[in-house]
Amino acid sequence: MKHLTEYSDPSSIHALAAEIARISKRPARIMEVCGGQTHAILRHALDTLLPPHVRLLHGPGCPVCVTPSAYLDHAISIARRPGTIVTTFGDLLRVPSNASGDLYAAKARGADVRMVTSPLQALDFARQNPDRQVVHLAIGFETTAPANAMLAYLAKERGLANVSLLVSQFLVPPILRAICADPETAPDAFLAAGHVCAVVGSDPYVSLARELSRPVAITGFEPADILLGVLDVLRLFEQGRAEMINAYPRIVHPQGNPEARRTIDTVFEVSDREWRGLGVVPKSGLSLRPAYAAHDAARIFPAPPPSEAAESLHCPADQVLLGRLQPPDCPHFGTRCTPDHPLGAPMVSPEGPCAAFFLHRRLP
Ligand code: SF4
C-alpha cells in the first residue's frame, strides 16, 4: 500500500480479516496499549471482523486515564493559588480528582487555567506575565515527552524562571512488564503504539518481546494498520515465537527520532511513577533532572496532604485499564457514567476505552 486512503480501503480490510481467520487456529487475547488505537478499533468495528476466539483487550494506553488523582489534586491546588497560570491540553480539564473536583471547575471559580495546543505556548505566557508563575501540566507517554522536555530546556536557556512543569510522564515498556507479571490475566500478544515507537524506535522492542515472552507488533492507526498488526502477532503466536515485528515502517525507524530522544535524555531521567488505579510501578516514568529543579513545579509548590478519599469508590478503572473488564460490563457504563457526567477518567478522554465504547458501541 502506497497511499493513506488504501489503509482504509474496504477490500484491503476484508482481505486482511480473511487472512487472519485463515491463519488463526487457537484462542488469543491481544492487547493494544494506545488510546488512539482503541478509538480506531471501536470506531471502525475492527474487533467484529475477527474470529470469535481472537479478542482485543484495551490496555492502559490513554495518558489522561492513567494520570493519578493525587496529581490532579496537586495541579488544582497550584491553579487556585494567586499569581499562577496553569497550562494544559484540553482532555485533562474534565478528569475528576477524588478530592478537588476537576480543573474545569477550578477555572470556573476563577483559577487561570489555559488550554494549549503546544507546551511551548507557556513560554509566551511567561514573557507576557513576568510577575506570575506559569505551570505546564506535563503528562503523557514517550510521545509527549519531547515537547515537554523542550519547554523545560528553552525555559532554562532563556532564563525564564517563571516557567515550570508539573510532571507525570509515563513509559510504556515497564507497564507491559507489570501486566505480564500476572499470568492469569496477561494477554498473549501486544500491539505497540506506533507514535511512541516513532520517538524511541523499534530496536528497544526487539529485546522487550523476548523479555515478555510474547509477540509484539508495532502498529499504526488506520484500519488496515491495526489489522496488519493483529495478523503479524497472530502469525508469531501460532508459531510460538516471542518476537517483534514493525508493522508501521512508514513512520517507525529502528532508532526512532534521535533528536527527540536526545532532548528527552537531556531534561528527564527515569523514575518510579504512580499510575491511576494501578499504583506505583518502578522505573515507569520520567522526572526532571536535578539541573532542571528550578523549573520543577513539584518543588516550587509542595503537594497538598494526601486525600483521605480513596481512588473512586464507583469506578473500576484499574480493571478496565488492565483489560480484565470490558467497559460495557461496568455497572455504571452509560447510566451513572457518561461523557457528560464521567465517574472516572476512562470516560473523559475520547482516547479512554469507556468513552470510545460509549461513542461507538453504545447499545440502543
Ligand atoms: S464506565 Fe465509568 S465508572 Fe465504569 S470503569 Fe468506565 S469510567 Fe469507570
Instruction: Measure the CA–CA gap between 212 and 117, rounded to whole angstroms.
Output: 36
Residue closest by Cα to atom 8 of ligand 1 = 315
Please name the residues in contact with 12: beta carbons below 8 A apart, sequence gap of 6 or more.
Answer: 1, 6, 224
Which of 68, 74, 97, 98 lies closest to 86, judged by CA?
74
Contact between 165 and 296 under an 8 Å Cβ cutoff? The reply is yes
Name the residue with higher pLDDT: 95 or 296. Answer: 296
Which of 69, 336, 343 is the best mutation target for the ligand 1 pocket, counting ligand atoms within 8 Å of the beta carbon and taking the most?
A: 343
94-98, 163-167, 208-212: which range is least confident on average? 94-98
Whole-number pLDDT of residue 4: 73
CA-to-CA distance for 360 and 364, rounded, in angstroms?
11
Q: Cα(229) to centroid of ligand 1, in Å?
A: 28
Higher per-residue confidence, 307 vs 220: 220
Return the pLDDT at 101. 86
User: Around Cβ 79, how many Cβ atoms within 10 Å?
Assistant: 22
Non-local (6+) Cβ contacts of 309 within 8 A are 69, 98, 99
For the ranges 140-144, 201-205, 317-321, the lowest mean pLDDT is seen at 317-321
pLDDT at 3 over 80: no
Quote the ligand 1 centre to 165 CA distance (angstroms). 29
Q: How confident is the model at residue 309 (pLDDT cuts 50, 70, 90)?
A: low
Lowest mean pLDDT among 118-127, 129-138, 249-258, 314-323: 314-323
Any ligand 1 atom below 6 A from CB of 64: no
On whether the CB atoms of residues 218 and 165 are closer than 8 A, the answer is no
The structural domains of the chain, with segments of one domain joined by +, span 67-171+258-300
Query: Does the pLDDT value for residue 204 go beyond 90?
Result: yes
Q: What is the pLDDT of residues 166-194, one digit of tens each?
A: 999 999 999 999 999 988 889 999 999 99
Minimum CA distance residue for ligand 1 atom 6 = 354
* CATH architecture designation of domain 67-171+258-300: 3-Layer(aba) Sandwich (3.40)
Predicted TM-score of the model (pTM): 0.93
348 pLDDT higher than 80? yes
Average pLDDT of the residues in 206-224: 97
Among 301, 266, 285, smallest CA distance to 134 is for: 301
